[in-house]
Amino acid sequence: MADPRVRTETGQNNRRLVCLSLGLLTFAFVLIWASASRAQEDTIVSHGYSFYGDLTYPEDYPHFNYVNPDAPKGGEISFSALGTFDSMNPFTRKGRAGALSTIMYESLLGEGTGGAVAPADVYAEYYGLVAERLEYDKGRNWVIFYLRPEARFSDGTPLTAHDVAFSQQLILDQGLRSYADAVSKRITDIEVIDDHTIKYSFTPGISRRSLIEVVGGMTIFSKAWYEETGARLDESRLEISPGSGPYMIESIDVNRRIVYKKNPDYWGKDLPFNVGRNNFDRIRVEYFGDENAAFEAFKAGEYTFRTEGNSRQWASAYDFPKVNNGQIVKKELPDGSPPIPTGFVFNLGREIFKDRRVREAVALGFNFEWTNESLQFGLFKPRASFNQGTDLMAVGKPEGAELAFLETLGDLVPEEMLTSEARMPHTSDASRLLDRRNLRQAMKLLDEAGWPVGADGKRKDANGQALKITFLVNSAGSSTLRAVVENFMSNLQAMGIETVLEAVDASQYTSRERDRDYDMVFDQYIPFLSTGGGLQQFFGSEASEFSVFNPAGLASPLVDEIIEASQRMDTKEETDVTLRALDRALRYEFFMIPAWYNDSFWVAYYDKYEHPDEIPPFALGQLDFWWYNQDKADALRAAGALR
C-alpha cells in the first residue's frame, strides 16, 4: 500500500480468551506458554539498536563515556547565523527555518542536542530515549517500541504512542516527498497497542537495513496540538507545536535573534542518556547580514562561540587583543568523522552537463593547489573520496572481494571502472591560477563535445548557442568562497566559456537550491560508514528529480544497484566491500568537482566554556556536552570583555 495504515487498539482484544471450562482454560494456558517461549527464542529485546547487534553501552550504563557526569548546569552559549529566517518549522519546503528549529523535539531512539550524534563515540548505534526498550524479530520484519510512561511534552501533556503514530503519518502525508516516498514503501502497518506501546511492520522482500533506526529516529509531535490548531507540517510559520526535548523557545526576533531556554520540567533530565549533557540554561542565536558583520560582533562580545570555516580569517584575523590576552580561546580540536563531501556540483538536469566531456573540461578549470595556497593559506587538503581517509575509500584498481562484487553486476559496470584506478582529482600548478597543461586538455574535450571556439572567442554549438554556466552563491556567505568561485570562473572564461555569478540573499538562495535553479552550486553530499535507506535519498534515481538531498540530480542504475546490494549483505565485511564499490562508482559518475577538507574543528570562544579532555570522534558537541564556568564568566564581565 502507498501509506502504512495506522491502527489503534487497546491490546486487550487480541489477547482475550473466552474459556467456557477449566479444561479449555488449561489448554489455552499451554498454548500461550508455548507461544511465549517461541517468541523469547525468536525475538530480541534491548535498550538500544545496532544492525549487527553489538552495542557498546550495556543496559545499565550510567552515562556515555566521554561526558563529564558532574558538569555544572547553567549559563548561556551563543553563536551566529548568517542571512535571514521567516519560519520555525523546519519540515516544510516553504520559507527559511531558523537555526536549531528542531531542537525542541525528540524521538524514540535519541540523538544529540541540535541533531548531533549521540552517543558520539560510536557509529551506527542507537539508544532508547523516549522508548525505554524495543523488541524485534531476528528477521526484522517488525519492531515494537515500549515508551517511557513519564515522557511529557513541554506543555505538560503526556507523550504517548498515539503521538508517535500521528507524527509518522503526518510526515508521510505532509513532509518532504523524497523521505515520505522512501519510508511509505517500507512500512506496511503501524499499530498502537496501548498508550505506551507501538508496533511497526515492514514490507516483505525488501532490505532490513535502516528500517528500525529510521522509525526510531522519527520526530515526535503533539497530536493534540495539531488537531486543535489545524496547523500543517508543510506550511511556513513561527508558531510551533510543543516538543518533549530539554529546550524550548524563549523568544524570537525575526531575522535578528532566537533564544532557546532549558525546560525546567524536562521529563528526561535524569536519564543515563542525558547525564552530563544539555548543560546550558540558554542557547542564543544571533543573525547577521554577512560574514564580516558576524565576525566583528564576535570580537565585540555580542556572541561567544564561533566555529570558523573561513581559512583566511582563521589564519590572519584572530590577532586581536582578546585572543592575545587569553579572554578568547582559539584552538583546533580533532574531528574523527569522515569529511563532508563538499564541492562544485553540476546540475545534471542541464543539457550542457549531460555530456561527460563538458563536465571533465569544466573541472579542469578548478585549480585547487593555487586556490589553497593563494586564498586559503595552505590550510586544506584535497578531497577525492566520499569516505576520505577511511577504510571505505576506494583506492587503486578494484581487486579481491570488491572486484568480484563488481563483476556480479554485469554490464552495469563500465569496463573502465574494472580496469582503471579510482578517480582522483586532477593536479594543477600552484604557482599560477591558469594551468596551461589543464587548459589545453580542457579545450580539446570541449572541441570533441561539439563546442568549438568562434571568431569572438566564445564557445558555441552547431546552432550558435553559447556555452554559458551560471554559478549560484549565497551573498551572506564566505567572502573567501566567493573569491574561489570568481577565480574558477576566470579559468573557464579563458576556455571560451561564458560564466555568470548570481549572488542572491539567503532566502532566495534556499528557494533556488530547493528548486534546483542553477547550473553549478557549491554544495555537499554525505559520507557513509554504513549503509541504509538514506543513501537512496542522496544518491538514488527514484527521488533524483525532487530530492533536496541530491543537488546534482544524480540518477545512475549502477549506483542504485550497488546501494541495493549493500543493504542485502549480512556481515559488516560484506557490506564494507559494497560501500567501497559505491565510493568508486560515485566518483566515476563525476557529478561533483571535489573541493577540500579539514580534519580539525577550528573553534574560538570566550574563555568561560569547558569541555571533556577528549572530544569524541563524531561530534564537537559544544551545545551538547560542553559546560559553563561561572567564575570565568564573572571575570570576563568584570574585565568588560562581554556585552
Ordered domains of the chain (ranges, CATH): 5-26+45-229 (3.40.190.10), 342-597 (3.10.105.10)
Q: Find, among 374, 384, 307, 336, the residue nearest to 583 by Cα.
A: 384
pLDDT at residue number 52: 87
What is the pLDDT, as a whole number, of residue 461? 95
pLDDT tens, position by position, 447-504: 999 999 999 999 999 999 999 999 999 998 888 999 999 999 999 999 999 999 999 9
Q: What is the pTM of this model?
A: 0.89
Give the DSSP H or E segment for 248. strand 247-253
Q: Are 164 and 149 in contact (CB under 8 A)?
A: no
Q: Please, which pLDDT band fits residue 3 given cuts at 50, 70 and 90?
A: very low
Grid cell 563515556 is found at 65
Q: What gap in Å lies between CA 569 and CA 480, rounded to an integer? A: 43
Which residues make Cβ contacts (< 8 Å) with residue 628, sequence separation at least 6? 72, 74, 75, 76, 77, 279, 280, 608, 609, 610
Residue 6 reports pLDDT greater than 90: no
Helical segments of 145-210, H only: 161-174, 177-184
Instruction: Over range 211-227, report the average pLDDT.
Output: 96
**For the ranges 36-40, 279-283, 389-393, 590-594, which has the lowest average pLDDT?**
36-40
Residue 413: pLDDT band (50, 70, 90) is: very high
pLDDT at 13: 37
φ, ψ for residue 404 (rounded to 5)?
-60, -40
What is the predicted pLDDT for the residue at 40?
A: 46
Q: Give residue 115's pLDDT.
A: 82
What average pLDDT does this structure show over 161-167? 97
Peptide bond into 321 cis (omega under 30): no
pLDDT given for residue 184 in this prediction: 81
- Per-residue burial over 245-272, b = 16 or more CB atoms within 10 Å of its CB, e = otherwise: bbbbbeebeebebbbbbbbeebbbeebb
Mean pLDDT of the region 603-618: 97
Tell which phi-psi region holds residue 74, choosing left (phi > 0), alpha (psi between -120 and 50) or beta: left
pLDDT at position 183: 80
Computed over every residue of the chain, the mean pLDDT equals 92
In this predicted structure, what is the pLDDT of residue 421? 97
Q: Distance between CA 560 and CA 549 in Å, rounded?
A: 15
- Cα three-residue angle 342-347-352, rounded to 5 degrees: 130
524-551: average pLDDT: 90
Over the Cα atoms of the chain, what is R_g?
27
Q: What tens digit of pLDDT does each residue of 18-77 get? A: 333 334 333 333 334 334 433 444 899 999 999 988 899 999 999 999 999 999 999 999
Residue 583's pLDDT is what?
Answer: 98
| Mean pLDDT, rounded, for 526-552 | 90
Residues 268-324 have pLDDT tens digits of 999 999 999 999 999 999 999 999 999 999 999 999 999 999 999 999 999 999 999
- Answer yes or no: is pLDDT of 533 > 90: no
Q: Give the residue-averaged pLDDT of 399-414.
A: 97
Average pLDDT of the residues in 518-542:
92
Q: Would you say how long the chain is, in residues?
A: 643
Average pLDDT over every residue of 318-337: 96
End-to-end CA distance of the chain: 58
Once rounded to an integer, what is the mean pLDDT over residues 545-560?
A: 94
Res 548: pLDDT: 87
